[in-house]
Amino acid sequence: MDIVIVPLLMLIKTIIGITVTVIVADVILSWLVALNVLNISNKFVYSIVDVIAKISNCMLNPIRSRMSLSIEGIDFSPVLLLVLLTFLEHVITRILLRFV
Q: Report whether 77 contacts 63 (CB < 8 A).
A: yes
Q: What residues make up the domain containing 23?
A: 2-99
Rounded to two decimals, what is the model's pTM?
Answer: 0.87
Q: What pLDDT sits at residue 82?
A: 97
**Residue 76 near residue 50, CB atoms below 8 Å:** no
**3 state SS for 29-84:** HHHHHHCCCCCCCCHHHHHHHHHHHHHHHHHHHHHHHHCCCEECCEECHHHHHHHH
Task: Give the per-residue pLDDT at 69.
Answer: 74
Residues 24-36: tens digit of each pLDDT? 999 999 999 999 9
DSSP 8-class letter at 100: -
Domains contained in the chain, number: 1
pLDDT at 27: 95
| Residues in the chain, pLDDT under 70 | 1
